[in-house]
A and B are shown apart, each in its own frame.
Chain A
Amino acid sequence: MAEIQELIKLLGELDDELVGCMRCGMCQAQCPVFAQTGREADVARGKLALLDGLAHEMIKDPKGVKERLDRCLLCGSCQAACPSGVKVVDIFLKARAILTGYMGLPPAKKVIFQQLMTRPQLFDKIVGLGSRFQGVFSKKASEVMGTSCARFASPLGDRHYPNLADKPFHKTQGELNEPRGSSGMRVAFFPGCVTDKVYPRVAEATLKVLRHHGVGIYLPHGQACCGIPALSSGERKSFEKMVETNLSLFEKGDFDYIITVCATCAATLKDVWPMMVEDDTRRERAKAMSGKVMDISQFLVDVLGVEPGEAHGGKKVTYHDPCHLRNSLKVTAQPRNVLKASRGVEFTEMPEAATCCGCGGSFSLEHYDLSRTIGQRKAENVGKSGAELAATSCPACMMQISDMLSQKGENTPVRHVVEVYAEGLK
């Protein structure tokens, strides 16, 4: 452990951001974790007060603060509703990095982030092994994958997790460099880890949709994870490396937008990279890229002008708002419109569509019980909507909601919005 004075100094740099919290407590109404526990240390106000207390030497226990800081989905619901405009998620990410720097990363995470996730090829290989042997070596797979964004292949407890795909998307799909089609557009595609390794069908659907609309596709090989799992564990160096890998890869292409199908990836590429990258030139490059990042539904509606069709009946489908799409990117209408434009389904709103599903990446691993109580409510709401199909815009949410529905004994299928749309295309 480093000197505590050093820690206090680093936390002091957050002071300008921390001081904006006026302790009004309005975040209590929004926080899914607080809704379950009712503990002040679990809500943004409490965590900000703890950081402030640590920075001003009113609290002497960094470990205690870190443990409480980690009980957070980073869903941004508090931030979206904060009257003072406190950048809660930024503060938490920075604080986690500072505290991790002080206390060091647990050895398992060190291996995963520093040795594995920064090397896309090796990462893919290990996950590939995991998928082949997941029945036999399930314990091992869990340790490796345990801390990544969505807890794929993590057979801890009694969760109902989907298997890793037999073949990840990047294996079945070669590099793509398709020219502009009838739309005159060309996009780069960033599928993200969970889509690649658990839901390749979402990525396939995306290609189908893009081609249907005459959009050229740039899909480079060797894409790294967006880096948010590392960053939210406080591991800034690995994050920096992953950003670099991706930036240099995408900078080679010529395209109008970078399309994502993972809400978390979208928010990370668009907001977190330009803010959290430490290297100055790299940050500028990330900023330049940021304007091009778009969620697939946003692209379909805002750029290609896909419009809701008239109700044509069909299976009832409902929509869950992924936090990162709703809170960070403010994308809520477009996915619904895509569903309304999809043939063969009829859209129906579920109660509390906008509340978190409880996944929160590694949160669900470290605090599974809490994650599950939050998720169960989501599953109940899916049930209440009477939908035969649940759609969302984030593969991690898909995993969580499937898990919850399945544990409830419901076999409502869970799909990505783009899959539903693709199915309706001839």
Chain B
Amino acid sequence: MADATTLAKDFEAIVGADNVMTHEADLHAYSYDSAVLPSKAPALAVRPTTEDQLARVTRACNQKGLPLTVRGAGTNLSGGTIPEQGGVVILTGALNQVLEINEEDLYAVCQPGVVTAKFAAEVASRGLFYPPDPGSQAVSTLGGNVAENAGGLRGLKYGVTKDYLMGIDFFDVDGEQVTSGSRTVKCVTGYNLPGLMSASEGTLGVFNKLIFKLVPPPQASQAMMAVFDDVQDASRTVASIIRNKIVPCTLEFMDNVTIRTVEGFRGAGLPTDAAALLLIEVDGHPVQVKEDAEKIEKICKEEGVRSIEIARDAEHKGQLWQARRDALPALANFRPTCVLEDATVPRSKMPDMMTALGRIADEYKLTIGTFGHAGDGNLHPTIMTDKRDKDEWHRVEEAVNAIFEEALGMGGTLSGEHGIGIAKSQWMEKETSPATIAYCRKMKAALDPNNILNPGKIIGT
């Protein structure tokens, strides 16, 4: 590896001196992401401002054998942007243009650094709808969303990022442009590379342009909050709603620990003695919305709901959803460190998973608040702790392992939406098989012979 000054000069020739960072303090600011993992600073950070620069930077890294980590907003929760093996961090912040919103054919073309919420707002201003709404959408980038296959509150009905990715342009390690997918709804031209790139976490290529599907927005919606005295009743209600062929756009769950913490945080009048809450929203044609809402109310009653509150107007709806939005902040305020897990189980296994989580909290003497996307079976058991307490931290690590064990045992998955990164790579084989890992490694070795694209992530080293 060449020395840092020469390296910086080489990259400066491509992106200009302003866009190469070499100072220790600047580099330290690219040493972490939102995962609770040890940080590691890169040797350099570069910020391409054009697609051509992005290609040249990628090629230069490969030629010099430098590990390369692309960074969007750095909000991933699995260590995906920690440059564990040093090398170069490529920032996509300057590649932030929405290149086209096509209202006739319902698609949009974006650069990877566009912030999700800004994109959604721009689409909405044209009377269209881009549904994926990760909790981090105010800051996360579309490139990061694709690389993590991010989901959101609307996943149940509208799907996740990959369901909207129609086409992609990316650079391979040689800086050559690869194009796949199209602007048409149907496209079977060759390998499904947009599919391959979804959730690839920067290990297979550097995204340059993304084509997203847009949909018409729903005409009406109705939100409600159902309060339960028994977690099992709440879990059964979820299963029953789905079984009755109603697909709410959102179906969120909060357990008692979360309810109490949220109430302590905002004092909005939540029932602190309730075992669980379900926050449900249906949307679509006004007639269907009304019908679905009535059916859901009936199902809740059949399953033993304590009370059900229907949003009267937009303001009241906002108040109901505030409780859900408060879940993470409230839990995060409670103790210094908050470990947000992402284990996901088939929906019918929700009751079992809840029981298991209660047992794990007792066994490892930890406070775990659980909330999440009940409709997807995607729960966020959140362990509230202090990473400086060595003994407690050790128990946290063991509890996390226990959670994975349980989820996998129920036919679930390690990660519903937060990705594998370095946080869970050692678990990959357990969920899949040795052959799967071997296959992925072979594929990676063929596409990235110098192993420079985010090395060590997902499939380990």
Q: Using Cβ atoms and an 8 Å threshold, which residues of chain A touch B28? A: 41, 49-50, 53, 58-59
Interface residues of B in 380-433 (CB under 8 A from A): 386-388
Q: Is the CB of A40 within 8 A of B138?
A: no
What 5 A-B pairs are tightest by C-beta distance, nearest first? Answer: A83-B329, A64-B25, A40-B29, A38-B93, A46-B29
How far, in angstroms, from A419 to B227 measured CA to CA in the complex? 52
Could you tell me which B residues sit within 8 Å of A by CB distance?
Answer: 21, 23-26, 28-34, 36, 39, 47, 73-75, 91, 93-94, 115, 117, 136, 138-139, 328-329, 332-333, 336-338, 386-388
Q: Using Cβ atoms and an 8 Å threshold, which residues of chain A touch B26? A: 39-41, 68
Q: Using Cβ atoms and an 8 Å threshold, which residues of chain B touch A59? A: 24-25, 28
Q: Using Cβ atoms and an 8 Å threshold, which residues of chain A touch B115? A: 29
In the complex with contacts A19-B388, A24-B34, A59-B25, A38-B136 CB distance below 8 A: no
How far, in angstroms, from A202 to B115 measured CA to CA in the complex? 41
Please report the total number of A residues contacting B with Cβ < 8 Å.
30
Q: Which B residue's beta carbon lies closest to that of A68? A: B25
Q: Which B residue's beta carbon lies closest to that of A84? A: B332
How far, in angstroms, from A85 to B334 measured CA to CA in the complex? 10
Q: Is the CB of A23 within 8 A of B29?
A: no
Could you tell me which A residues sit within 8 Å of B by CB distance?
Answer: 15-16, 19-20, 22-26, 28-29, 38-41, 46, 49-50, 53, 58-61, 64-65, 67-68, 83-85
19 inter-chain pairs at a CB distance below 8 angstroms, sorted by A residue, are: A19-B337, A23-B32, A24-B34, A25-B74, A26-B136, A28-B138, A29-B139, A38-B93, A39-B21, A39-B26, A39-B29, A40-B74, A41-B25, A50-B28, A53-B31, A58-B28, A61-B24, A64-B23, A84-B338
CB distance from A373 to the nearest CB of B (A): 15
The 8 Å CB contact of A28, one of B39, B73, B386, B387, is B73
Q: Which B residue's beta carbon lies closest to that of A61? A: B24
Q: Using Cβ atoms and an 8 Å threshold, which residues of chain B touch A49? A: 28-29, 31-32, 39
Q: Using Cβ atoms and an 8 Å threshold, which residues of chain A touch B91? A: 38
Q: Using Cβ atoms and an 8 Å threshold, which residues of chain B touch A22? A: 34, 36, 332, 337-338
Most chain A CB within 10 A, of B28, B73, B329, B333, is at: B28
How far, in angstroms, from A401 to B70 measured CA to CA in the complex? 38
CB distance from B91 to the nearest CB of A (A): 7
How far, in angstroms, from A68 to B91 measured CA to CA in the complex? 19
How far, in angstroms, from A61 to B386 measured CA to CA in the complex? 27
Q: Is the CB of A50 within 8 A of B136?
A: no
In the complex with contacts A38-B93, A59-B24, A61-B24, A19-B336 CB distance below 8 A: yes
Q: Using Cβ atoms and an 8 Å threshold, which residues of chain B touch A64? A: 23-25
Q: Is the CB of B139 within 8 A of A40?
A: no
CB distance from A300 to the nearest CB of B (A): 27
In the complex with contacts A19-B336, A83-B329, A85-B333, A24-B75 CB distance below 8 A: yes
CB distance from A19 to the nearest CB of B (A): 4
Q: Is the CB of B136 within 8 A of A24?
A: yes
Q: Which B residue's beta carbon lies closest to that of A37? A: B93
How far, in angstroms, from A40 to B72 measured CA to CA in the complex? 11
Q: Using Cβ atoms and an 8 Å threshold, which residues of chain A touch B75? A: 24-25
Q: Using Cβ atoms and an 8 Å threshold, which residues of chain A touch B74? A: 25, 40
Q: Which A residue's beta carbon lies closest to that of B24? A: A61
Q: Using Cβ atoms and an 8 Å threshold, which residues of chain A touch B25? A: 41, 50, 59, 61, 64-65, 67-68
